[in-house]
C-alpha cells in the first residue's frame, strides 16, 4: 500500500482515505492527540519538508522538500514513517467505529 504525507496541508492518507490535521477539517470525536503525534513524527524528517511518499511493498520512502529536492530512504533508516503508518491505521479504525456508532 502507498501512503502519503503533505506537511503544508497537514494531510496523511493512502489511495482510499485521507485525514487532515487542522481544526476545521478534523472529524469530531477523533482523538485530538492524533494531531500531536502527526506533528511529532513529521518533525523527525528533513527540514523544509513538503511531501512524503511511502510504499510499504518496496519499503522506499521519498521525501520532497519545498525546494523540490528529493531524499530517498528506507523504513530501517527512517523508522518514524512506521509511526505515521500506525497513526493512519489507528485513526482509520477510530473513524470507522465512530461512523458505525453514528448509524
Which pLDDT does position 98 carry in this prediction?
87
Confidence (pLDDT) at 72:
95
Look at residue 7 and tell me whether its pLDDT is greater than 90.
yes
Quick one: pLDDT at residue 47?
81
User: Could you report the per-residue pLDDT of 11-62, keeping only the tens digit for each?
Assistant: 999 999 999 888 776 777 788 889 899 999 999 888 889 999 999 999 999 9
For 69, the grid coordinates are 529536492
Domain membership of residue 59 as a residue range: 2-102
The phi, psi pair for 75, rounded to 5°, reads: -65, -35
The model's pTM is 0.89
Q: For the chain, count helices (H), then strands (E).
A: 2, 6
Q: Are strands 18-20 and 11-14 parallel, antiparallel or unpaired?
A: antiparallel
Tell me how many domains the chain contains.
Answer: 1
Amino acid at each position: 500500500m502507498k501512503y502519503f504525507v503533505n506537511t503544508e496541508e497537514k494531510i496523511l492518507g493512502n489511495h482510499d482515505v485521507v485525514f487532515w490535521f487542522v481544526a476545521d477539517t478534523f472529524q469530531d470525536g477523533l482523538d485530538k492527540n492524533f494531531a500531536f503525534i502527526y506533528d511529532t513524527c513529521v518533525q523527525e524528517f528533513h527540514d523544509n519538508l513538503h511531501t512524503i511518499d511511502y510504499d510499504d511493498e518496496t519499503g522506499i520512502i521519498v521525501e520532497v522538500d519545498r525546494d523540490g529536492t528529493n531524499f530517498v530512504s528506507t523504513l530501517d533508516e527512517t523508522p518514524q514513517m512506521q509511526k505515521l503508518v500506525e497513526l493512519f491505521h489507528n485513526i482509520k479504525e477510530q473513524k470507522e467505529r465512530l461512523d458505525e456508532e453514528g448509524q
